[in-house]
């Protein structure tokens, strides 16, 4: 090769290198820009989910105000403040064998308890859990109730055969049905509407107990429904049975709800209520609580619009286990759509409800150095082809923001109830005493997989409770987990109302 050709070749190589490095720099700049976009989405999310203590106090105040409005008149608030007609909580004097059926979320349970006639003397309890087949959630009421009645029958027969109990008459059941029900008595009520993904149109407006009673008859199971309660009421009953300082109960599971013990005079919408006692358990149905103080994002708005019950259950859609994973999925999807940080948007990421809250919790609580669990879930469930360590951290942060907001709002809800019943430490009017000397021990029974199994959710909730109430007051507030409380509690309510089960207003 002559000298001139060597020079030409050298120039050509140099030009190629220059072109390659321009492309590389261009790629890097684009990547940085894309990443900047993702971080922008994250910053926006963080800002919109802000729940400083001032805002939490406003939420708590708003809930207390709505509780008053819901008690004052029918339809006076988004909070239904449903009368449960449970005016007697189990005090320990109950004796005998009672059954319960707990339906209202992801699983249903059938159980039996044996009561010994003293406080905290549940001699035995046996539970059987089964997932509710998804297709039954949108089938017909007959199919759904036939299914649970069959499960109950098998359970009862197995128990009686095993224990040598005399089968036949006298069986009594507490039915936990965790959807909004308008009750006319402790043992009956009409379904107002479905929540949590259930949609069986022929059931709305029908008597829930009657539908179950008919299914029991079809199966030839002789059993009387003595109490119809929702999960929060069951949880309160079990909490109270163990500890009479229990004043309220909250559920953080597939859905969220709360109930509390209210003085009869305060239930203005039902003056002259025929109750044998001075108080009654009121079911807030706080899933439908709404206030302009709640920090709502684009993702919440879109989730709501795409749900089968838009504009309903606003509080529940920000807090409960059914929705947290789905909110996180929507955030990650938006990040993927607005940048190429995951490459081509994986089709699985566009599938609603594919990221379930337990998976979100597993990613959030991944303590491995390489965040291998985050990697596994993103690759296996969302089918993301390659998960860079930076992306793993980012996804973890998304989970954190959403769960933190949920847990803090949940804490504000609890404080709202305490405020309503004067247990949040505010100095009574005209009193000069320090709040902590007037504060009584206050127990709130808690149940639900989200609270029990998602440690970070629970810790954030406790932290916020302390922030809102302050150290002096929070020492007097006990959150007591009652395992299987919603079901056992229903059996206890059945026991407490066993001889005089009909209390019409
Ligand atoms: P249900 O509300 O159906 O009666 P649970 O109280 O057992 O049932 O709550 C189940 C719900 O709790 C699940 O749907 C899920 O959203 C949530 N959950 C269960 N386990 C976990 C977990 N490990 N992490 C986060 N959430 C969980
Ligand atoms: Mg439950």
CA triple 491-495-498, angle to 5 deg: 125
Q: Is the pLDDT of residue 505 over 50?
A: no
Is 231 an active-site residue? yes
- Tens digits of per-residue pLDDT, 266-295? 999 987 666 666 899 999 999 999 999 999
Report, as an integer, the average pLDDT of 359-366.
98
Is 472 an active-site residue? no
What sign has the CA pseudo-torsion 186, 190, 193, 195? positive
Report the DSSP beta bridge partners of residue 478.
443
- Tens digits of per-residue pLDDT, 380-428? 999 998 899 999 999 999 999 999 999 999 999 999 999 999 998 875 4
Tell me the three state secondary structure of residue 193: coil
Is 475 an active-site residue? no
Pocket of ligand 1 contains residue 325 by CB under 6 Å = no
Model pLDDT, residue 31: 78
From 141, 178, 320, 339, the catalytic residue:
178
Order of all β-strands in the sheet with 477-481: 82-83, 279-283, 256-263, 246-252, 442-447, 477-481
Give the residue, by CA position, lying nearest to ligand 1 atom 8.
253
Q: Is the pLDDT of residue 12 over 90?
A: no
Which residue, chain included where needed, has tokens 């919440």?
300
Model pLDDT, residue 14: 57
Q: Is the pLDDT of residue 106 over 90?
A: no
Which of 132, 177, 254, 407 is the best mutation target for the ligand 1 pocket, counting ligand atoms within 8 Å of the beta carbon and taking the most?
254
In angstroms, rounded to a whole number, what is the distance separating the alpha carbons of residues 165 and 235? 28
Q: Is the pLDDT of residue 242 over 50?
A: yes
Model pLDDT, residue 503: 32
Counting ligands in written order, which one lies closest to the CA of residue 453?
A: 1
Residue 175, token pair as written in the block: 């039915």
More confident residue, 15 or 48: 48
Contact 122, 111 (CB under 8 A): no
Report, as an integer, the average pLDDT of 197-208.
94
In angstroms, rounded to a whole number, what is the distance separating the alpha carbons of residues 198 and 467? 36
């Amino acid at each position: 090769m002559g000298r001139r050709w060597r020079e030409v070749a050298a120039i050509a190589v140099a030009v190629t290198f220059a072109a390659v490095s321009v492309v590389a720099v261009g790629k890097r700049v684009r990547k940085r820009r894309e990443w900047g976009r993702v971080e922008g989405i994250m910053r926006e999310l963080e800002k919109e989910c802000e729940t400083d203590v001032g805002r939490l106090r406003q939420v708590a105040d708003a809930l207390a105000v709505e509780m008053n409005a819901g008690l004052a008149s029918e339809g006076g608030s988004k909070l239904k403040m449903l009368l449960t007609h449970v005016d007697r909580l189990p005090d320990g004097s109950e004796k005998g064998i009672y059954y319960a059926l707990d339906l209202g979320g992801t699983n249903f349970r059938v159980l039996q308890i044996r009561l010994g006639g003293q406080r905290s003397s549940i001699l035995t309890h046996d539970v059987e859990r089964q997932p509710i087949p998804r297709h039954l959630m949108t089938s017909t009421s007959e199919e759904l109730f036939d299914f649970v009645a069959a499960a109950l029958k098998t359970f009862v027969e197995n128990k009686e055969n095993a224990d040598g109990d005399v089968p036949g008459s006298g069986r009594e059941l507490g039915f936990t049905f965790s959807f909004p029900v308008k009750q006319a008595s402790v043992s009956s009520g009409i379904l107002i509407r479905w929540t949590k993904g259930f949609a069986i149109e022929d059931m709305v407006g029908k008597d829930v107990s009657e539908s179950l009673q008919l299914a029991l008859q079809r199966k030839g199971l002789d059993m009387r429904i003595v109490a119809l309660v929702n999960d929060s009421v069951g949880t309160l009953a079990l909490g109270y049975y163990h500890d009479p300082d229990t004043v309220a109960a909250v559920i953080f599971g597939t859905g969220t709800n709360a109930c509390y013990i209210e003085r009869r005079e305060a239930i203005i919408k039902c003056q002259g209520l025929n109750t044998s006692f001075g108080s009654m358990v009121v079911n807030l149905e706080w899933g439908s609580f709404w206030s302009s103080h709640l920090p709502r994002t684009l993702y919440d708005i879109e989730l709501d619009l795409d749900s089968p019950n838009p504009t309903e259950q606003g509080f529940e859609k920000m807090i409960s286990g059914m929705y947290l994973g789905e909110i996180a999925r929507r955030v990650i999807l938006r990040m993927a759509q607005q940048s190429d940080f995951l490459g081509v948007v994986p089709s699985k990421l566009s599938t609603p409800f594919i990221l379930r809250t337990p998976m979100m919790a597993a990613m959030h609580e991944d303590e491995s150095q390489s965040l291998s669990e985050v990697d596994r879930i993103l690759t296996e469930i969302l089918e993301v082809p390659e998960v860079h360590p930076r992306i793993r951290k980012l996804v973890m942060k998304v989970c954190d923001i959403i769960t933190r907001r949920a847990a803090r709002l949940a804490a504000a809800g609890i404080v709202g109830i305490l405020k309503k019943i004067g247990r949040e430490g505010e100095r009574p009017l005209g009193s000069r005493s320090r709040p902590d000397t007037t504060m009584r021990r206050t127990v709130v029974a808690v149940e639900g997989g989200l609270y029990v199994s998602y440690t970070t959710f629970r810790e954030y909730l406790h932290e916020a409770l302390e922030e809102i109430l302050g150290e002096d007051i929070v020492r007097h507030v006990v959150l007591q987990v009652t395992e299987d409380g919603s079901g056992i509690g229903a059996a206890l309510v059945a026991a407490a109302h066993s001889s005089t089960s009909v209390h019409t207003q």
